C-alpha cells in the first residue's frame, strides 16, 4: 500500500496527546517537589517515610474521583507507581541529606 502520509486527523490527535503528556510530566514533577518538601519535614521530625495508611488513603481518593474510562483499579496501579517512584526519590535523597 502506498504511503499517502498520516491523515490530518491522526496528526491532530497525536499533537493533543503530546500536549497532555507535557502537562502530565510538568504536574508529576510538581507532585514530586511537594513530596520532597514533605520528606524534608518528615526527616526533621523523625517520621518514617513508609506510611501505608496514607498511601491507601490516597489510592482510595484517586479511585473515588476517577470518572473513567480508565478503570478504578488501573488508576490505583498508576498512582501506586507514581507514589513509589517519587518515594524512591526521597529514599535516594536521604543519602545526600546529611
Partner 1 sequence: MDITQDVKIDVKTANGMIRPGTFRVVAGPCTVESYDQFYAGAKAVKQAGFEYVRGGAFKPRTSPYSFQGLGEEGLKIMAEVSGEMGLKVVTEVMDPYDIELVMEHAQVLQIGARNAQNFSLLRRVGAAIAGTDHGVLLKRGPSSTVEEWLLAAEYVTSAGGDNVVLCERGIRTFETATRFTLDLSAVIVAKRLTDLPVIVDPSHAAGRSDLVIPLSKAAVAAEADGLIVESHHDPQEALCDGEQALPIEALMGLKDVLSPFATAMGREVI
The residue ranges that bind partner 1 (CB under 8 A) are 46, 48-50, 52, 84, 87, 91, 94-95, 98
- For partner 1, the closer CB: 8 or 98: 98
- For partner 1, the closer CB: 1 or 48: 48
Minimum separation from the CB atom of position 54 to partner 1 (A): 12
Minimum separation from the CB atom of position 81 to partner 1 (A): 12
- For partner 1, the closer CB: 17 or 91: 91
Rounded to 10 deg, the angle between the 72-95 and 8-45 helix axes is 50
97 DSSP 8-state letter: -
Helix (H) or strand (E) holding 94, with range, is: helix 72-95
Look at residues 95, 87, 89, 90 and name the one whose alpha carbon lies nearest to residue 52.
87
Amino acid at each position: 500500500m502506498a504511503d499517502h502520509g498520516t491523515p490530518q486527523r491522526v496528526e491532530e490527535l497525536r499533537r493533543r496527546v503530546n500536549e497532555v503528556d507535557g502537562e502530565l510530566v510538568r504536574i508529576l514533577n510538581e507532585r514530586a517537589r511537594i513530596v520532597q518538601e514533605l520528606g524534608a519535614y518528615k526527616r526533621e521530625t523523625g517520621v518514617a517515610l513508609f506510611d501505608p495508611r496514607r498511601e491507601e488513603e490516597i489510592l482510595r481518593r484517586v479511585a473515588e474521583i476517577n470518572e473513567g474510562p480508565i478503570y478504578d483499579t488501573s488508576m490505583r496501579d498508576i498512582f501506586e507507581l507514581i507514589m513509589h517512584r517519587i518515594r524512591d526519590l526521597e529514599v535516594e535523597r536521604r543519602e545526600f541529606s546529611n
